[in-house]
Amino acid sequence: MKDTFLHKGLRNKLVEHLSKKGIDNIDILDAINNVPRHLFMDNAFVNFAYQDKAFPIGSGQTISQPYTVAFQTQMLKIKPYQKVLEIGTGSGYQAAVLNELNTNVYTIERQKDLFKKTKEFLPSIGYKCNFFYGDGYKGLEKFAPFDRVIITCGAPQIPQSLIDQLKIGGRMVAPIGDGDIQIMHLIEKISETETKITTHGEFSFVPMLNNKQNGN
């Protein structure tokens, strides 16, 4: 499948929509405008790719609503060349947006089939990330510390292991809650013993689960 002028026009409209909803970081809007979201989706949903909605991608997972991707990314206040840990690779759409912002992305997926698919797919359309199959709760201690951490699935609580892997002065964005609705949390690491936590509205994510999973 190609990226046509029609797709680019639909992305322009999506960006205008996100801007009206309060996304005002030009770099993030440009990133959303550059990523061909329709290529990340199953054929059954391709015609809806630029609607501001989440859609299933298999393995019980979804590709996040564009507004959610933009909102979380904006909260991170990313700077070029920062090292970002993403928990929940999924389709790779969020990782692609981070890649467009010139970050060094480390991304973990616990669903083996999804991990294999996305690890092959993202480089094929020009996005370079560091892919890992594993338990997101454990993070990637070997590669820590990280400037930014983003959790793209609903966690029942803020994982302390991920706070530990965040640099002092770093920021982590995480949807917290064990029901259908989570509260978006921003965690700012002030020192090794102090964090500042603020909340930023309700969102809905698939749950973050422990341990590796072989498939559906």
Q: Are strands 61-63 and 55-58 parallel, antiparallel or unpaired?
A: antiparallel
Provide the terminal-to-terminal Cα distance of the chain, rounded to the nearest Å: 26
**Residue 91 and residue 118: Cα distance in Å, rounded?**
6
Catalytic, out of 19, 64, 124, 191: 64
Q: Which long-range contacts (CB under 8 A, 24 or more apart) does 7-14 make?
A: 7/36, 7/38, 7/49, 7/50, 10/49, 10/50, 11/36, 11/37, 11/50, 13/50, 14/50, 14/52, 14/66
Q: Is 64 a catalytic residue?
A: yes
Q: Are strands 83-87 and 104-109 parallel, antiparallel or unpaired?
A: parallel
Q: Residue written as tokens 């970002």?
A: 84
Given phi > 0 = left and psi -120 to 50 = alpha, else beta, which region is 110?
alpha
Active site residues: 64
